[in-house]
Structure 1
Amino acid sequence: MKFTHFNESGRAHMVEVSEKNDTKRVAVAVGNIKMKKETINMIKDGLIKKGDVLSVAQIGGIMGAKKTSDLIPMCHNIFLTGADISFNILEDSIEIQSEVKTVGKTGVEMEALTAVSLAALTIYDMCKAVDKDMVIGDIKLIRKSGGKSGEYIRKED
């Protein structure tokens, strides 16, 4: 029986991290969901039939962070020590921010990005009955710390 070693051929493989040191790691990501002003007002006034949109989206985002390795093929399964989702409600959009933490051998950037994505998708799902024109976008890493590569802070766009 012949086995193909995919690493050296440039094909997919999970990065080996056993030699890395455990360090405290933090990642912060942001994104937004644009919607009609009327939809924003319905969210603020608690008039969305599915319930408290931002509370459910917060839970959805945290669950997304915890399930990232099930969703992203080469992502390591990471024990998270913390995950938080916060929202900034604007006139015609909601800004979403996640902060994810761990102590381990690999970073939590993917978990932070997934948390923002799932929170935005949850908002869309809860509000789609009243606004199908919503647009999810501008999801990006803002900063990360820990590990061999150290600190990263996004410069202003």
Structure 2
Amino acid sequence: MTGLTHVDESGRARMVDVSGKAVAARTATARGHLTCKPETLDQVRSGTAPKGPVIHTAELAAIMAAKRTAELIPLCHPLPLTKVEVRIEIDDRLPGFAVVAEARTNAVTGVEMEALTAISVACLTMFDMLKAIDRTMSIGGIEVVSKSGGKSGDWQRG
């Protein structure tokens, strides 16, 4: 089991000790999408979706979820988030919704999981709010787009 950071010598899961790492400004951006019928987009655009303002509700849910990532992912460190921004836009080419989330912190570990959690919960919230009118929806493309800060430096998806 050597070389695995989240497993101890006996094979048990463990949280990595990050107490020796330096605090650094860290940022992560993630994206994803929810596809749906064009008629579903029309209802969201017109404000007639049965459960209310879909995009605003999903953006708020995403921010709330990012702040609770450590409660959802067992070995994830709780982080003091300094910013979480979520943008959901209607994309007729999908058709569906394009979702982008950015998370920031000044901490000893990165915020990729917080950005990914925000994307996931935004998509799940929209799915929940629209499932009564569209059973064809699909969630996908959830990925980290970029990260900055920390020992491993900056990274951007090509």
Output the TM-score relative to the length of structure 2.
0.93
Partner secondary structure for residue 149 of structure 1: coil
For structure 1, the 5+ residue unaligned runs are: 1-5
What are the residue-to-residue correspondences of 1:84-123 with 2, within 5 Å? 84-91=85-92, 92-123=95-126
State the partner residue of 1:20.
21
Distance (Å, rounded) in 2 between the aligned partners of 1:9 and 1:110: 26
1:12 shift after superposition? 1.1
Partner secondary structure for residue 81 of structure 2: coil
1:9 shift after superposition? 2.9
Partner secondary structure for residue 69 of structure 1: helix
1:93 shift after superposition? 1.3
* Corresponding position: 1:32 with 2:30: no
1:10 shift after superposition? 3.6
Q: Deviations over 1:81-109 (max 9, x none)?
A: 00000022111111100000000001000
Number of equivalenced pairs = 150
Distance (Å, rounded) in 2 between the aligned partners of 1:104 and 1:90: 35
* Corresponding position: 1:53 with 2:64: no
What are the residue-to-residue correspondences of 1:136-147 with 2, within 5 Å? 136-147=139-150
Partner secondary structure for residue 124 of structure 1: helix
* Corresponding position: 1:79 with 2:80: yes
Distance (Å, rounded) in 1 between the aligned partners of 2:98 and 2:12: 37
- Opposite residue 151 of structure 1, the aligned amino acid is D
Let me know the Cα RMSD of the aligned residues: 0.9
* Corresponding position: 1:68 with 2:69: yes
- Opposite residue 146 of structure 2, the aligned amino acid is R
State the partner residue of 2:4.
none
- Opposite residue 96 of structure 2, the aligned amino acid is S
Partner secondary structure for residue 81 of structure 1: strand
- Opposite residue 107 of structure 1, the aligned amino acid is G
Q: Deviations over 1:85-135 (max 9, x none)?
A: 002211111110000000000100000000000000000011011001100
